Amino acid sequence: MGRPRRIIQTGLSYHTYTRCRNLENHFKNDRFKNLVIKAILEIQKKLNFELNDFIIMPNHLHLVITTLNDKDTISKIMQVIKSVIAKRMNKLLGVRGPFWNERFGSKIVYFFPALCSYIANNPVRKGLIEKAEESKYGTYHVYRQENSKCKLKITFHKQFLTLGKSLAECFERQMYLDMFYIR
């Protein structure tokens, strides 16, 4: 039996995830995490998509990407992201061959605020940090503090913006939702 077909449409939000080969912890230090950030930042300038959320874990990445109407597909975007990161990581590690474990996974996003909490709390569930706000390589602060800085260009997801009439109200309601999705 073959693998399930990926739903590819523009104008949708996708939760994508991809793991390092053999679940090796290649993103365990800041140098490698910054390489990922720099690669995605360069790709954001070349391809047309919105990055709504992300977290860099030691052996995998979570990205929430919204494809834009009549622009690049999720498959094209992820192919470029994975290819650029793999080439740079292999060069830095001094190795050849596949860097990623398998094709990337993707699911269409139906309720972003819950997914945002799930992604932000992934390092907490894995025992890497005690609280999500300790994360430096994700969007926890972007969705929970006004005027927060991020090295990547983050576009607030349209569902997040429906949580309130003002950005402050959206932040407050996201914090409330976090209470239900932690651990």
Is 6's pLDDT higher than 80? no
Q: 24: buried, middle or exposed (CB in 10 Å: 19+, 13-18, 0-12)?
A: middle
Sorted by where each starts, the structural domains of the chain and their CATH numbers stand as 13-181 (3.30.70.1290)
pTM above 0.95, yes or no: no
Across the chain, mean pLDDT equals 91
Q: What is the pLDDT of residues 16-71, one digit of tens each?
A: 999 999 999 999 999 999 999 999 999 999 999 999 999 999 999 999 999 998 78
User: Tell me, what's the pLDDT at 175?
Assistant: 85
Q: What angle do CA 116, 30, 64 make, to 5 degrees?
A: 25
Q: What is the 3-state secondary structure (H, E, C) of 29-91?
A: CHHHHHHHHHHHHHHHHHCCEEEEEEEECCCEEEEEEEECCCCCCHHHHHHHHHHHHHHHHHH
CA distances from residue 117 to 13, 35, 94, 132, 173 in whole angstroms, order as listed = 16, 25, 36, 9, 12
CB contact set of 97 (below 8 Å; sequence gap of 6+): 90
User: Tell me, what's the pLDDT at 1?
Assistant: 58
